[in-house]
Structure 1
Amino acid sequence: MTATSKTVSGAELPSRLAEAPGRIRLEPVSGEVVVTMGDIQIARTRNAIRLHEGDYTPMIYVPAVDADFSGLTKTDHRTYCPLKGQASYYSVTAAGEPGVNAVWTYEDPFAEWADIKDHLAFYTDRIKVEEH
């Protein structure tokens, strides 16, 4: 991703997405991002992306290469976003029930959002995502 933000509004989206609600904007996160659940460190990076989507709370996506997958287990859970595509999920194994499907990724996002490919996002009501 370049150092500038990227925005696509409904008018600029391909026809398959033109009717989808919301708007997405990506921007690099300055500084370091540390992701933890309890005493488990999931990721640490200086290459995170902040995704703004409509009225939703902005989400931080961290590169998968900066995550420790030893404590994550891929699940069969999937969801679909008409703007970004299909999301796959991971559970934080050692965290028990709160860790179930707490991490997601778009392994093959729509071309407009290729910048979030190979990145992870987190449910922040269960996982702490801190910017330093």
Structure 2
Amino acid sequence: MTEASTDRPIKVPGPHHPITVEPSSDRVTATVDGSTIADSTATLTLAEAGYPVVRYFPRADVEMSLLERTDHATYCPYKGDASYFTIRTGNALLKNAVWTYEQPHEALSEIADYVAFYSDRVEVVAAPTP
């Protein structure tokens, strides 16, 4: 991702830059300082080129009351405009630790209404459902 700019190309994933989005039935949780921020069996797993795999959580499975929208924004030519949230729990304040593509480019439209967490700030753990 790059910082938002006025010159914004739109690229489509392909052999040169593959991106796959797959539904997962694993139970995936996101926690911060002992507080559960998200708990879902309906995440999407996004694998992009050489980047680490990212779990996208449906907003319905996220404790949105712990998130505060920020003015921070970035742009990805494959996904579109990203908006960010800060996580505020009793003991933690993690600025811009959550991102979302509210109106992603058509090629990745399935990630709309989902959020993702930076794994270096939020513990995201997946376990197969029985």
> Residue 80 and residue 68 in structure 1: after superposition, are their counterparts in 2 closer, same or farther (change >3 A)?
same
CA RMSD of aligned residues (A): 1.9
- The letter for the 1-side match of 2:106 is A
Out of 66, 69, 78, the residue aligned to residue 71 of structure 1 is 66
- The letter for the 2-side match of 1:77 is H
Query: What secondary structure is seen at the aligned counterpart in 1 of 2:102?
Result: coil
Structure 1 segments of 4 or more deviating over 3 A?
A: 18-21
Cα distance in 2 for residues equivalent to 1:122 and 1:62 = 9
1:70-92 residue CA offsets vs partner (Å, 9 max, x unmatched): 11100000000000000000000
Cα distance in 1 for residues equivalent to 2:110 and 2:67 = 22
Out of 88, 96, 102, the residue aligned to residue 101 of structure 1 is 96
> Residue 18 and residue 71 in structure 1: after superposition, are their counterparts in 2 closer, same or farther (change >3 A)?
closer
Q: TM-score, normalised by structure 2?
A: 0.83
> Residue 16 and residue 92 in structure 1: after superposition, are their counterparts in 2 closer, same or farther (change >3 A)?
closer
- Residue matched to 2:11: 17
Gapped regions of structure 1 (runs ≥ 5): 1-14
Q: TM-score, normalised by structure 1?
A: 0.82
Query: What secondary structure is seen at the aligned counterpart in 2 of 1:102?
Result: strand
Query: Higher relative contact order at CA 8 Å, sep ≥6: structure 1 or structure 2?
Result: 2
Identical aligned pairs, as a percentage? 39
> Residue 31 and residue 76 in structure 1: after superposition, are their counterparts in 2 closer, same or farther (change >3 A)?
same
Q: How does 1:40-119 map to 2 (within 5 A)?
A: 40-94=35-89, 95-96=92-93, 99-119=94-114
Shift of 1:30: 2.6
The structure that is helix-richer by fraction is 1
Cα distance in 1 for residues equivalent to 2:10 and 2:115 = 25
The structure that is strand-richer by fraction is 2
